[in-house]
Amino acid sequence: MPVVVEERCPQNHPCPCVALCPVNALNQKGFEAPTLDKDKCIDCGLCVDHCPYQALTDSEDREKDADMKKSLFHFCLLSNARS
């Protein structure tokens, strides 16, 4: 299921992914970050594949990113502790 990462969306343009969604699950008010209607979404991945800013990402990828950041943080702590 896609996730909107608002920090990555410049929010200064019409989102090109809104028009790509075959079931109209993505909506945008003005130039705000798009919102996702999870009840309509069929998880086809078109929005994730075509977002030029990677502001639409797969929720599984987001979880992997979070795990990688935690691992990197712990590595840095251990490295600094040994110095």
Q: Which CATH number belongs to the domain containing residue 69 in this structure?
A: 3.30.70.20
Q: What is the pLDDT of residues 36-66, one digit of tens each?
A: 999 999 999 999 999 999 899 887 655 455 5
**Percent over 70 (pLDDT), the chain:** 71
Task: Show the domain range for 65.
Answer: 2-82
CA proximity to 57, closest of 33, 22, 31, 24: 33
Number of structural domains in the chain: 1
pLDDT score at 43: 92
CA–CA separation, 27 and 37 (whole Å): 8
**What pTM did the predictor assign?**
0.66
